[in-house]
Chains A and B, each alone.
Chain A
């Protein structure tokens, strides 16, 4: 089984709809991250959480919110989706102190019409 899973893997929705992307991990890591990837651009950090009680905005948090339900679960919400939020979304985890490596989920492809 994959260490970092994301659901759904693909989602098509309409402008104005609320969407939740979920991430679960079995690696036992405290730190979790949400990124988005757009064609021709690198991954950009949306939100990150260093433990259940610690949530921080990343580079591009406007229009997004997150919830850290447990050490293993980190959800990303789009309260009112808009077309420019169409992107590939990745969840990642890392341990601290540890190897400094981030472990990524398979991604969720979101299309907002």
Chain B
């Protein structure tokens, strides 16, 4: 059974600092990995999706890397802003059947 872990559970940084969020998974045989953002009272929004054949994906200030052999993914958010405050979750799709295994998330607070 795939286990997905996110450490730390919470993170507080001053505005402008770069954010580094970690995700680890136990079974390296994955189809893809996604990073989601969750805001209170709203659903999850997909930020980046990395296919198993890829090493990284970038969108604006966000960059996600994937190292399947070590079972790790990292989400980098450059020059953080208060609007980046949210919970970030990673999810693994083991077999392209869309049955995602989620981590518990990292709650980020960016202080102005």
Contact = CB atoms under 8 A, between A and B. Distances in A.
B49 interface: yes
A48 B43 contact: no
Nearest to A97: B96
Interface of B: 4, 9, 31-32, 34, 36, 41-46, 49, 51, 89, 91, 93, 96, 98-105
Closest 3 CB pairs of A and B: A42-B102, A104-B43, A104-B44
A96 B41 contact: no
A58 B99 contact: yes
Given A41-B104, A101-B46, A48 B41 contact: no
Contact of A48 (B42, B99, B101): B99
Nearest to A56: B99
A42 B43 contact: no
Contact of A102 (B41, B51, B98): B98
Q: Which interface class (under 10, 10 to 19, 20 to 34, 35 or more) fits A?
A: 20 to 34
Interface string A38-70: 001111110010000000001000000000000
Interface of A: 4, 31, 33, 35, 40-45, 48, 58, 90, 92, 94, 96, 99-107
A100 B98 contact: yes
Given A42-B91, A43-B89, A43-B102, 17 more contacts: A4-B43, A31-B98, A33-B98, A35-B102, A41-B104, A42-B4, A42-B101, A43-B44, A90-B44, A94-B98, A100-B34, A100-B93, A100-B96, A101-B34, A102-B44, A104-B43, A107-B43
A42 B105 contact: yes
B96 to A, nearest CB: 8
Contacts of B96: 100
A22 to B, nearest CB: 15
A105 B98 contact: no
A40 B104 contact: yes
11 contacts: A42-B102, A42-B103, A42-B104, A43-B89, A45-B99, A100-B49, A100-B96, A101-B46, A102-B34, A102-B100, A104-B45
Given A31-B98, A101-B49, A106 B89 contact: no
